[in-house]
Amino acid sequence: MSALSKVLAQEIRKIEDTHLVEQTLQKYRLTHHLMPPAGWLNDPNGLCYFKGRYHVFFQYSPFEVEGGLKCWGHYSSEDLIEWRYEGAPLLPDSPDDCHGVYSGSALVEGGKMHLFYTGNVKLDGDYDYINNGRVTSTIHVESEDGIHFGEKAVVIPFSAYPADYTCHIRDPKVWKQGDTYRMILGGRKKDDRGAVLFYTSSDLRAWSFEKEVSTEEPFGYMWECPDYFELGGRGVLSVSPQGLEREEYRYQNVYQSGYFLTDVDEKNPDDGAFRKYINDGTFREWDMGFDFYAPQTFTDGKGRRILIGWMGMPDAQEEYINPTAQEGWQHCLTLPRELTAKGEKIYQYPVQEFDALRMECCKLNSETICDAGKAQNMKKVRTNVAGPFDLELEVGGDSTEIHLGADLSLVYENGCAELKLSEEAGAGRRRRKARLDELKEVRIVADTSAVEIYLNRGEVVFSTRYFPAETKKYLEIKAEAFRGRVYALAGMTFSL
């Protein structure tokens, strides 16, 4: 370990230890979501299942609560419930990543964990850092135990990327297909359109450019954090585009994350060449809430395709002042979600391990309730919740309302689901909408200051941070018919 690496590691530990002492004063601290030990967290990185443990790395800026110099933080778990903080294994301590160890992924192969990430370097000078002044390369490190990592090796230098790209090429996701290793990178082309680049390798060290895939008309100017996998016999290309125009029911956040259902290896029937363009009409957002970006997926020992997203949003300061910054930390990751393909949609649902945290419950059943709501045929129930809970509900009729005190509500009517936050709980954010033909089931996992809402077992999801004044509040449900339970949740364990 170099002297610089040693000093960086010590400084990070010092900051984390100080923060640990201050934890009891943090009102918004989470009990069911992975958050940074100190400072800032963004994208999930290096997700994998390795030698009997799940590994979740993340973009971590312990030095600055508003984000800044990035390293990778690391949690691991045997069961996705009891988590252990493993420290910050990848530091910005080499000439190729001295302005940030940016996002990347893991591949488990030959008994080793291989990590691939983007090393970010900003040159000194008067640059725009889009078209000039930035050097990004793809770097590989490997580990025998998943905790200690070896030498960093640049496997794709900046100079080898195609010439029609800006300096924004990053976030390698690597997987194995047959005997070949494949990599996908996200990028911004010089003509300001987002695209992904595919590379292949036979040994994980030498990588050759294979092809580029984009849309025929520009679909945003940059695609970050790409992922590609097959699910239910379909190809799924996931990207986080920047630069889409806001609409009433789509693209409501500053940046988006979603997927195209497309086989990227399909060839043109006429000339046998790879198809360069995909149809942007198939793009579907992963999540309709305020806080969801840069998701990544992996398959675990049970063969499940699991997705974790960043429960945050870059560059959202215009509408949002996150109050946890005053507590010395910002952002978290979503719960691990199992993906399933149904028709033209991918459904997301919390992994079943999470159910083990459910404790005593309260039954909610409209058949035994006489209290009429606004409309004659509406039934209403109100119960108190104190602390994190998990609500599971079947609903009937054309409209449903769920209120979490006066802070958060979900209203479904006329084929539209709307999430509303009060002024205080939203910290500047007020509403998000999603179209949905029919609402049959609602699940809400509510943490201290993070809520995940799953409609129809994950057909539509809203993930959002919210900042309620009180932890004790009422939960009110109104619908023509409903049946379900609300469970108090035992805490997840996080050993720091």
Cβ-contact 292, 463 below 8 angstroms: yes
Position 102 contacts ligand FRU (CB under 6 A)? yes
Q: How far is the CB of 300 from ligand FRU (least distance, A)?
A: 24
Q: How far is the CB of 295 from ligand FRU (least distance, A)?
A: 10
Residue 64 or 355: which CB sits closer to ligand FRU?
A: 64
Position 285 contacts ligand FRU (CB under 6 A)? no
SS3 4: helix
Position 184 contacts ligand FRU (CB under 6 A)? no
Q: How far is the CB of 392 from ligand FRU (least distance, A)?
A: 32
Alpha-carbon distance 39 to 44, whole Å? 15
Position 373 contacts ligand FRU (CB under 6 A)? no
Q: Per-residue x/- mask for ligand FRU, residues 20 to 59, rule CB under 6 A?
A: ----------------------xx---------------x
Burial class (CB within 10 angstroms; exposed 0-12, middle 13-18, buried 19+) of 237: buried
Residue 169 or 417: which CB sits closer to ligand FRU?
A: 169
Position 170 contacts ligand FRU (CB under 6 A)? yes
Residue 235 or 314: which CB sits closer to ligand FRU?
A: 314
Q: Please tell me the count of residues contacting ligand FRU according to CB under 6 A.
A: 14
Q: How far is the CB of 70 from ligand FRU (least distance, A)?
A: 5
Position 287 contacts ligand FRU (CB under 6 A)? no
Position 171 contacts ligand FRU (CB under 6 A)? yes
Torsion of CA 129, 130, 133, 134, to 10 degrees: 90
Length of the chain: 496
Cβ-contact 185, 238 below 8 angstroms: no
Position 224 contacts ligand FRU (CB under 6 A)? yes
Alpha-carbon distance 223 to 216, whole Å? 14
Maximum distance among all alpha carbons in the chain? 73
Active-site residues, by number, are: 43
SS3 341: strand
Residue 77 or 103: which CB sits closer to ligand FRU?
A: 103
Q: What is the DSSP string of 126-152?
A: S--SSSSSEEEEEEEEEESSSSS----
Token output for 464: 């959002």
Position 188 contacts ligand FRU (CB under 6 A)? no
Position 167 contacts ligand FRU (CB under 6 A)? no
SS in 3 state form for 184-198?
Answer: EEEEEECCCCEEEEE
- Chain centroid to CA 15: 25
User: Which residues sit at the interface with ligand FRU, rule CB under 6 A?
Assistant: 42-43, 59, 70, 102-103, 118, 170-171, 224-225, 293-294, 314
